[in-house]
Amino acid sequence: MSPVDAIERVSVLSTGTVRIRPDHAAATWKPQMLWMATSRSWTSPMPINAFVVEHRDGVVLFDTGQNRASVTDPDYFPGGIIGAFYRRTAQADIAEDETLERGLGRLGYRISDVSTVVISHLHQDHIGGLGQLTAAKIVVSQDEWDTLDETGAELKGLMRKHIDLPGLSWDRIQPEPTKDRALQPFPVGHDLFGDGSLMLLPTPGHTPGSISMLVRTPGHSPLLMVGDLTYSTHLLDCGHVPGAGSKAQLRQTTTMVNQLRANLAGTVVLAAHDPDAADALAKVTTS
Ligand SMILES: [Zn+2]
């Protein structure tokens, strides 16, 4: 299906910054458990992006950022060994004016304007705004949702108490076979509004149920929001995967995404923590 002209505006906001381990941002020879236990350095601060897509049928959020309570409330994260693990994985900095609500406000939206939320995956720095989004439909992949029930889910960064909140309307999707040749090599996808403008694609690796969103408008560069598939488009360009998650799956998904980018000329990749994402988006949306 060729996409219709349904997208009015695409913007980005960041709910603070986060530093992670260098071996996390770009895989090295070290296995995840080794660098997790021994690393003493951090990357430079990276944004915690959420993307806002104004579709003619409603405002769509791709991810919701990290909740400010995570840096102000000592009980936000689990205690004990699991809490120590979270502190070793990432260090966030979220100022008072960096909440989802304030970020949306600067773009001219209210929380209640958001009608659909797509969650790339359920890690805490992507689900932080859920509690306020009770008027929206929350879309997540069924595969990702199922990981909430796995043993050790909390140790894998999934905190059900901040995800499975009362009053939220979840739409747990399973991508369907698609005949859209422009999506090759992806055999399946989920057409969010049924008009081809917002396609959800399974991009597992960082987590088993991670999804990406392809935004298409006639006459404009396609945008591919990839969550945590990569922390830098430059690394994605050369097929260098991050050091956390399933490396085999990350490599396979990276190859598929790079094939898709080769087929869809000019596609701009927007990753959740890429320091260059906001500039890359500005370049194609202001021209
Ligand atoms: Zn993540």
Q: What are residue 60's DSSP bridge partners?
A: 53, 116
**pLDDT over threshold 70, residue 220:** yes
Residue of 22, 23, 26, 20 lying closest to 241 (CA atoms): 26
Q: Contact at 8 Å (CB) between 22 and 242?
A: no
- Taking a 5 Å cut-off on Cβ, the residues next to ion ligand 1 are 123, 228
2 part of a folded domain:
no
CA–CA dist 7, 13 (Å, integer): 18
Tell me the CA–centroid distance for residue 4 and ligand 1, in Å: 31
**pLDDT over threshold 70, residue 1:** no
Strand 137-141, strand 46-55: pairing: unpaired
pLDDT of residue 66: 97
Tell me the CA–centroid distance for residue 25 and ligand 1, in Å: 11
40 part of a folded domain:
yes
Tell me the CA–centroid distance for residue 158 and ligand 1, in Å: 10
1 part of a folded domain:
no
Q: pLDDT tens across 101-142, in order?
A: 999 999 999 999 999 999 999 999 999 999 999 999 999 999
Question: For the sheet containing 188-191, what is the strand order?
Answer: 176-177, 188-191, 198-202, 211-215, 223-227, 268-271
**pLDDT over threshold 70, residue 287:** no
Q: pLDDT tens across 184-207, in order?
A: 999 999 999 999 999 999 999 999
Q: How confident is the model at residue 274 (pLDDT cuts 50, 70, 90)?
A: very high
Tell me the CA–centroid distance for residue 229 and ligand 1, in Å: 8
227 part of a folded domain:
yes
To the nearest whole number, what is the mean pLDDT of the chain? 94
Q: Which amino acid is at 242?
A: P
CATH code at position 92? 3.60.15.10
Q: What are residue 214's DSSP bridge partners?
A: 199, 224
Q: What are residue 197's DSSP bridge partners?
A: none
How many domains is the chain built from? 1
Tell me the CA–centroid distance for residue 121 and ligand 1, in Å: 7
User: How large is the average pLDDT for residues 223-228?
Assistant: 98
Whole-prediction pTM: 0.95
**E strands within 192-267?**
198-202, 211-215, 223-227
125 part of a folded domain:
yes
* DSSP-derived secondary structure for 118-183: E-S--SHHHHTTGGG-TTSEEEEEHHHHHGGGSTTTGGGT--HHHHS-TT-EEEEE--EE---GGG
Range of the domain at 163: 7-285
144 part of a folded domain:
yes
